[in-house]
């Protein structure tokens, strides 16, 4: 069974599934810790501390330099990443988990387009099919908010999710370029290296001393982030950027289940229907050639 799985599922797909689950659990921890009164920038700083420590240990075990070769591009990846992260976290704290994830996971669409423009990657038919079905699924999932008055969200929260998605796409393009010259651990290390001082400066006097429960959640934010980041970097190293990131839509499914189980966020029928379309699109993208 394990041999069949390894021969059937490409490595990039396996890594992306692990990445999606890691980021879904990270988002759940972010939402939980925000309910303890911890500001978004403090969550960003905590994530950077945990991720930075783990990355540095991994780099030391590999006996490589943490500073990399293409320092300007590595710093740019960090700057773009921390900007995107703030907007993503803000939307997660203000919106239901599933809806926030839906907005965040517009980024594979942006990534495919940016990869076409800047990396000259060809968008395969399977990826186009996946994107179309996924966008249709997203439209179905948000349709009650577009045409009804039962559920409404602030434009600020929704806009933050979209901006975060675009920023994530830009970061993924930078990661794809960096995988040609940098070790994956170095790429991951530069994110906390750049984001930590920025988050601390912007946080200022808004720091809230966390309770023991909140502290544990902050640590888990960093741990699950590290799992997601490493798996994502390996996925991008295995495949084209637009091909690999298309599989990340499965985080929507993970978030639906986590939101229902942990936060009692009952999924609407339209949410379930849209999630099914997204999952079908991902499966087509995986098994198209097989």
Q: 200 versus 230: which is more confidently predicted?
A: 200
Q: What is the pTM of this model?
A: 0.80
User: Among candidates 124, 140, 75, 141, which has minimal Cα distance to 245?
Assistant: 124
Q: Specify the range with the lowest mean pLDDT, choosing from 17-21, 81-85, 132-136, 264-268.
A: 264-268
Q: Specify the range with the lowest mean pLDDT, choosing from 2-11, 68-77, 135-144, 162-171.
A: 2-11
Which pLDDT score, from 0 to 100, does residue 231 have?
A: 84
Q: Tell me: pLDDT of 27 over 90.
A: yes
Q: Specify the range with the lowest mean pLDDT, choosing from 10-14, 92-96, 235-239, 270-274.
A: 235-239
Q: Residue 243 class from Cβ within 10 Å (0-12 exposed, 13-18 middle, 19+ buried)?
A: buried
Mean pLDDT of 220-234: 84
pLDDT in tens, 40-61: 999 999 989 988 898 899 899 9
Q: In the numeric block, which tokens belong to residue 172? A: 């993924």
pLDDT-based confidence at 4, cuts 50/70/90? very low
Mean pLDDT of the chain: 82
Q: Tell me: pLDDT of 14 over 60.
A: yes
Cα 270 from chain centroid (whole Å)? 23
Mean pLDDT of 9-18: 77
Q: Tell me: pLDDT of 1 over 50.
A: no
Q: Tell me: pLDDT of 2 over 70.
A: no
Q: Specify the range with the lowest mean pLDDT, choosing from 32-46, 159-173, 268-282.
A: 268-282
Which pLDDT score, from 0 to 100, does residue 140 have?
A: 80
Distance CA 275, CA 140 (A): 9
Distance CA 277, CA 253 (A): 11
Q: In the numeric block, which tokens belong to residue 202? A: 């912007």
User: Among candidates 48, 104, 67, which has minimal Cα distance to 226?
Assistant: 48
Distance CA 128, CA 243 (A): 9
Q: Tell me: pLDDT of 110 over 90.
A: no
10 Å Cβ neighbour count for 210?
18
Biggest alpha carbon–alpha carbon distance for the chain: 57
Q: In the numeric block, which tokens belong to residue 24? A: 């879904």
Secondary structure string (H, E, C) spanning the chain = CHHHHHHHCCHHHHHHHHHHHHHHHHHHHHHHHHCCCCCHHHHHHHHHHHHHHHHHHHHHHHCCCCCCCCHHHHHHHHHHHHHHHHHHHHHHHHCCHHHHHHHHCCHHHHHHHHHHHHCCCCCCHHHHHHHHHHHHHHHHHHHHHHHCCCCCCCHHHHHHHHHHHHHHHHHHHHHHHHCCCCCHHHHHHHHHHHHHHHHHHHHHHHCCCCCHHHHHHHHHHHHHHHHHHHHHHHHHHHCCHHHHHHHHHHHHHHHHHHHHHHHCCCCCHHHHHHHHHHHHHHHHHHHCCC
Q: In the numeric block, which tokens belong to residue 160? A: 């933050």
Mean pLDDT of 97-123: 77
Which pLDDT score, from 0 to 100, does residue 135 have?
A: 81
């Amino acid at each position: 069974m394990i041999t069949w799985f390894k021969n059937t599922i490409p490595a990039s797909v396996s890594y992306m599934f692990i990445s999606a689950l890691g980021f879904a659990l990270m988002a759940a921890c972010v939402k939980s810790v925000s309910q303890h009164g911890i500001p978004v920038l403090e969550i960003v700083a905590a994530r950077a501390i945990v991720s930075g420590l783990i990355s540095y240990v991994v780099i030391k075990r590999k006996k490589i330099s943490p500073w990399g070769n293409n320092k300007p591009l590595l710093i740019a990846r960090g700057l773009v990443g921390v900007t995107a992260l703030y907007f993503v976290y803000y939307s997660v704290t203000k919106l239901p988990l599933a809806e926030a994830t839906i907005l965040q996971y517009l980024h594979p669409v942006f990534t495919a387009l940016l990869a076409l423009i800047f990396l000259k990657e060809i968008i395969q038919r399977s990826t186009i099919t996946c994107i179309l079905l996924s966008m249709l699924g997203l439209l179905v999932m948000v349709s009650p908010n577009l045409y009804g008055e039962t559920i409404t969200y602030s434009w600020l929260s929704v806009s933050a999710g979209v901006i975060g998605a675009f920023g994530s796409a830009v970061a993924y393009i930078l990661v794809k370029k960096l995988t040609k010259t940098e070790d994956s651990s170095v790429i991951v290390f530069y994110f906390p290296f750049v984001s930590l001082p920025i988050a601390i400066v912007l946080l200022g006097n808004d720091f809230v001393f966390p309770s023991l429960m909140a502290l544990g959640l902050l640590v888990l934010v960093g741990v699950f982030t590290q799992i997601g980041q490493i798996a994502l970097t390996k996925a991008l190293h295995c495949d084209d950027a637009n091909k690999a990131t298309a599989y990340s839509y499965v985080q929507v499914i993970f978030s639906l289940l986590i939101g229902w189980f942990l936060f009692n966020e009952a999924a609407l029928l339209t949410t379930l229907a849209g999630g099914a379309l997204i999952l079908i699109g991902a499966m087509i993208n995986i098994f198209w050639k097989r």
